[in-house]
Amino acid sequence: MFRRGFKTWCETTATEKRRALRIPVTEALDPRLVAKEMRVAVRYIEQIPDLAPDTILQLTVNDSTVWSALTVCHNGRYLVVLNSAHPKTREANTLMHELAHLIIGHKPARLDITDDGLMILSSYDQQHEDEANWLAAALLLPRDALVHSRKQGLTNEEAAAHYGCSVQLFTMRINTTGVDVQIRRAKRRTG
Which residue ranges make up the site for Zn ion (CB under 5 A)? 124, 129, 132
Identify the CA nearest to 136 among candidates 98, 110, 90: 98
Distance CA 175, CA 74 (A): 39
Cβ–Cβ under 8 Å, residues 178 and 185: no
CB of 1 to Zn ion, least distance (A): 16
Distance CA 146, CA 52 (A): 44
Give the angle 97-101-105 at the CA atoms, nearest 5°: 160
Query: What is the DSSP-derived secondary structure letter of residue 84?
Result: T
CB of 131 to Zn ion, least distance (A): 9
CB of 111 to Zn ion, least distance (A): 14
Cβ–Cβ under 8 Å, residues 101 and 95: no
CB of 156 to Zn ion, least distance (A): 25
